[in-house]
Structure 1
Amino acid sequence: MNRRRQMTIGLAAALLSGVLVYGMYWLQLRQLREDEMVRVVVPKQFIPEGAILEEGMLAELPIPKSALRDGMLLRPSEASGLQALAPLGTGEPLLDWKVERFPLLPRPGEATFQIPREYVKSVSNGIRAGDRVGVYLSSERLASRRLFAEAVVVAAVKTSANVEIESPESDSLRSLTSGDKEKLYASRRDANGSIDSINLNLTEEQWLELDAACKDGGAKVVIAYEASAIDEENKEKEGGS
């Protein structure tokens, strides 16, 4: 009886020792895996272009350190209050170039220029502050062409009374930042005046190129609204459906 009891106790001790060894191994393996991972910020759901980010819209996702790239945000607090410059997909690591805190203000290397009236041939009436526009050169002597390869940001559009153009009942910029495309469209249809002056955020090189092209009166610029990234994404979705 005593021998059987001793064997039972020995077997139980061996099993317990095995469980402890396996537990220690599992904890060490888990710690090793955690040491090889890093957390990055991702949206909890799709976020449209123009939306203002809040911490509740974001989560942290562990990824291998080898997958970490320059520009990935690591803490939701870093992204809180920023505006999305492009659509953000669910679970997609948030990159710093896709967000900006004050999109109407010039970025480093830029300044806000009011384009002289005599330089402008036409401006799309649907343009509002915060839009990205294409700038085209229209010349009587030379072939018309796109002046800047990339779109530029509109800092302000005003009437002849120096009033920012908006709908009296719907703030276009607020609709843009909230991602409400219906209100955004309505605010542009019900604007409070025609565009008399427009301010663009340009680099020094861009302004000097525009000024050199237009100052002798031989050419003028056409400023056109360009489809946003979310518009292009919606077209792709519609085409695939």
Structure 2
Amino acid sequence: MNRRRQLAISLSAAVLSGLLVYGVYLVQLKQIQLEETAEVVVPKRFIATGTKLEPEHLTIVSLPRSAVSSEMITDASEAVGMETSMPLGGNEPLLRWKVDKYRLLPSAGQSTFQIPREYVKSVSNGIRAGDEVVVYLSDETTASRKLYPDAIRVAGVKTAANLEIDNPKNPNLLSMANDDKEGMYTSRRDANGTIDAINLNLTEEQWLAMDTACKGGTAKLIIAFQASSIKEDEQ
């Protein structure tokens, strides 16, 4: 009986020892895998050109460290809010050159419209390409109102000579891309020229609403610069 008990104890000890060794092996293997891989951001599914990336569009996958390049985005917060410059494939590493923070091209479902001069009552002279603006409707027959609930992206502002309004020595878009608020302010102050034409990125519904409201001649647009075009510093 004692011999059987000793045999059972020895067998149990051997099994436990084997399980312990195997557990240590799995931990070491996991550590090696973590050291040899890196996490990168990928779209969960196909994303069309002009889409503004939201957290629900993105996920994280692990790739062999040797396959990860400096162009791949590794932090999802860096990609959120960016807009796609080209289609993105699902589970395809997100590359920095495929997205942009300040795009002048229309987003998905939008077109760029040059607003007829006769539709416009006033345009803020501080507006530059890439800004977001608020569009109001000043109507002689009804109360004035905001035409769209959301801000509208400016594709371009030009003088009567068809020249883009900017400061050549300190381009506004360059300052915007570098998040240089001081440079953006200086560019707006020093740029020469009066806005003669403004191009807005609008959906078909937004353009039809504008055209319907203004083509009778009694209603005019007031296009105002929105302060959120210049981002506030994070607290």
| Worse overlay, 101-110 or 26-35 | 26-35
Q: 2:56 aligns with which of 53, 70, 78?
A: 70
Per the alignment, do residues 186 and 73 of structure 1 end up closer, same or farther by CA in structure 2, a change over 3 Å counting?
Answer: farther
- Distance apart, 1:40 and its partner CA: 4.8
| Aligned residue among 23, 26, 50 for 1:25 | 23
What is the rounded CA distance, in whole Å, between the counterparts of 1:140 and 1:225 in structure 2? Answer: 23
- Give yes or no for contact 1:157–1:198 (8 Å, CA) kept in 2: yes
**1: distance between equivalents of 2:137 and 2:29?**
61
Please say if residues 166 and 188 of structure 2, whose CA atoms lie closer than 8 Å, have aligned partners that are also in contact: yes
The one of 66, 82, 97 aligned to 1:99: 82
Cα pair distance change 1:26/1:225, threshold 3 Å: farther
Gaps of at least 5 residues in structure 1 are: 1-13, 42-68, 83-90
Distance 2:207 2:70 in 1: 31
Give 5+ residue unaligned stretches, structure 2: 1-12, 42-54, 86-102
TM-score of the aligned structures, taking structure 1 as reference length? 0.65
Task: Provide the aligned C-alpha RMSD in A.
Answer: 3.6
Contact 1:40 1:72 in 2 (8 A): no
- Residue 28 of structure 1 aligns to a residue whose secondary structure is helix
Q: 1:189-215: CA deviations, max 9, x gaps?
A: 001211110000000000000000000
Shift of residue 127 of structure 1?
0.5
The DSSP-based 3-state class of the residue aligned with 2:167 is: coil
Partner of 2:162: 162
Q: Secondary structure at the match of 2:77?
A: coil
2: CA distance between counterparts of 1:176 and 1:124?
18
- CA change 1:170–1:95 in 2 (3 A) is closer
Alignment of 1:91-240 (within 5 A): 93-94=76-77, 98-102=81-85, 103-228=103-228, 231=231, 233-234=232-233, 237=235
Aligned length: 184
Counterpart residue identity of residue 121, structure 1: K
Using the alignment, how far apart are the partners of 1:229 and 1:167 within structure 2?
17
Alignment check: 8 A CA contact 1:106 1:201 kept: yes
Provide Cα deviations, 1:109-145, integer angstroms capped at 9, x if missing partner. Answer: 1000000000001111111000011111001111010
TM-score using structure 2 length: 0.66
Query: Could you tell me how far apart the structure 1 residues matched to 2:161 and 2:60 are?
Result: 46
Q: Decide whether aligned partners of structure 1 residues 30 and 229 sit closer, same or farther in structure 2, where only a CA change above 3 A counts.
A: farther
Give SS of 1:166's match. Answer: coil
Shift of 1:28: 2.5
Q: Deviations over 1:172-227 (max 9, x none)?
A: 01110111111111010001211110000000000000000000101001111112
Q: Cα distance, 1:26 vs. partner?
A: 3.5
Cα distance in 1 between the residues matched to 2:143 and 2:183:
39
Q: Distance in 1 between matches of 2:59 and 2:183?
A: 31
Query: For the residues of structure 2 that align with 1:197 and 1:81, how far apart are their CA atoms?
Result: 39
The percent of aligned pairs where both chains have the same amino acid is 49
Match of 1:51 in 2: none
Write the distance in 2 (CA, Å) between the matches of 1:141 and 1:178.
Answer: 45
Secondary structure (helix, strand or coil) at the match of 2:160 reads coil
Segments of 4+ moved more than 4 angstroms = 29-35, 75-82
